Structure 1
Amino acid sequence: MPQSIGSAAAAKKLKKTLDHAGFYPALVADVILDALDGREPTGELVHLETHVERTEVHRHITVLVMTEDMLVVAQADDQHLDEDGPEPLAHVSTESVPLAAVSSVVLSAAWARPQDYRPGDQPREVTLAISWSGAQRLDLVPAGCADPQCDADHGYTGTTALEDLVLRISADADGPDAVESARRFARAIRSASAVPDAHPHPAPARSGTISARLGRPHQPRAGA
């Protein structure tokens, strides 16, 4: 008997969401099916991004599927085999994360015209960050000093934070329904992962400032 993605209702809902995204839905569904190992999904979030590089258009999809005890993260993108390759090649990866390993769920939101805010108003965009293995995101910028005439090399300064997955969903780009779906998924995984004694030895969520003398950045070539 062929394996199915959980219950018929859950499978139908996930399939409809993947079909709406339109990014190789049959392929992505089969990959998720394999990663679920027969578990029934209790919630999902699908986010499709499109990047334009000169004359090429690349797409990337992130699918989060939550079960009672697991978070399955599937990511896929397409790219040409080579410069002359007529056919794209889809790269798909999955990661299965026990909900007990989720150490942080951060949801940031931005509201337009906050002075006119009324209860229930939807934010214009949200950023969802989920941490589970202690992977660090590092943001560096050139360091400076208070002297505006100084041209000395002060190295770099930046911030580091524990983040395994970061998704930015905008009402303008993705639609208001996508923003609400992200907020709903954030509430669901936050509730499911906030189990007493689920993290006997959680990794500390560090966020600090670092500085390092890494030398000056390469200057762009003339005409580049």
Structure 2
Amino acid sequence: MRTQDQLRGQMREEIERSGYYPEIVLDSLETVLAEEDVIDFVVHHEATFDREELRRHATVLVMTPTRLLMQHTDEHPADEIYSHPYASSVTNAVRLTAISNVMVTRILANPENYQAGATPSEVILTIGWGAASRLELEPATCGDPQCEADHGYVGGVTGDDLNLRFASAADGDGVVQRALGFTQRLAEATGKPV
């Protein structure tokens, strides 16, 4: 069993290893972590393309005895408000009792050769607690391509609290295994088996 000093030290090392504004990420986490114990954590670093720019994001999930802490940091190019590139850092704390679902999607390459316990190619972790929803609407039609009448809108609402994708190709097998372990401990703590 790891001590708090060991867990916090390992978390600091993994955040620093990601190389993504580690001091901003750590300061943001300390704001909400306070003196509460760390039960487990996972660090997620992702690069995406936005138009012709490479943008990086980092998300750290920390489970305490009573809460799930989520720290997300983005970098942004200069814009009409800020003349220099800048980072935004958001930290959220959710009571474990408020978490309504923990879902894990496993992507398995060559499923015909799957061996029990093998690391998936990808893992997508979805956590819901009812704070955010995505509304998607589109114009309704009657099926007649010539019809110009207003038929209103159709659409749906989906929960969209947190989705993180961990891929062996991008992050390595160790990070995917760590994400699976974190998911299992979170599911156990919330009583929502995956």
Normalised by the size of structure 2, how large is the TM-score? 0.84
Partner of 1:177: 174
What is the alpha-carbon distance in structure 1 between the residues aligned to residue 105 and residue 141 of structure 2? 29
How many pairs were matched up?
188
Structure 1 segments (4+ residues) deviating >6 Å = 141-145, 153-156
What is the alpha-carbon distance in structure 2 between the residues aligned to residue 114 and residue 142 of structure 1? 39
What is the alpha-carbon distance in structure 2 between the residues aligned to residue 179 and residue 113 of structure 1? 17
Partner of 2:21: 24
1:99 to 96, 105, 108: 96
Alignment of 1:61-210 (within 5 A): 61-82=58-79, 87-139=84-136, 150=145, 158-194=155-191
Percent identity of paired positions between Structure 1 and Structure 2: 34
Residue 43 (structure 2) pairs with residue 43 (structure 1): no
Task: Please list the CA deviations of residues 102-149 of structure 1 after superposition, one character each: whole Å capped at 9, or x if unmatched.
Answer: 11101111111111111112211111110113422345677788x8x9
Residue 9 (structure 2) pairs with residue 12 (structure 1): yes
What is the alpha-carbon distance in structure 1 between the residues aligned to residue 8 and residue 60 of structure 2? 14
For structure 2, list consecutive stretches of 5 or more residues without a partner in the other structure: none
Comparing 69-78 with 165-174, greater Cα deviation is found at 165-174
Structure showing greater radius of gyration is 1
What is the alpha-carbon distance in structure 1 between the residues aligned to residue 64 and residue 56 of structure 2? 26
Say which structure is richer in helix: 2
Root-mean-square deviation (CA), in Å? 2.6
> Secondary structure, in 3 states, of the residue corresponding to 1:71?
strand
Do 1:10 and 1:40's aligned partners in 2 also have CA atoms closer than 8 Å?
no
What is the alpha-carbon distance in structure 1 between the residues aligned to residue 168 and residue 146 of structure 2? 42
> Secondary structure, in 3 states, of the residue corresponding to 1:180?
helix
What is the alpha-carbon distance in structure 1 between the residues aligned to residue 31 and residue 40 of structure 2? 17
> Secondary structure, in 3 states, of the residue corresponding to 2:16?
helix
For structure 1, list consecutive stretches of 5 or more residues without a partner in the other structure: 1-5, 196-224
What is the alpha-carbon distance in structure 1 between the residues aligned to residue 139 and residue 119 of structure 2? 36
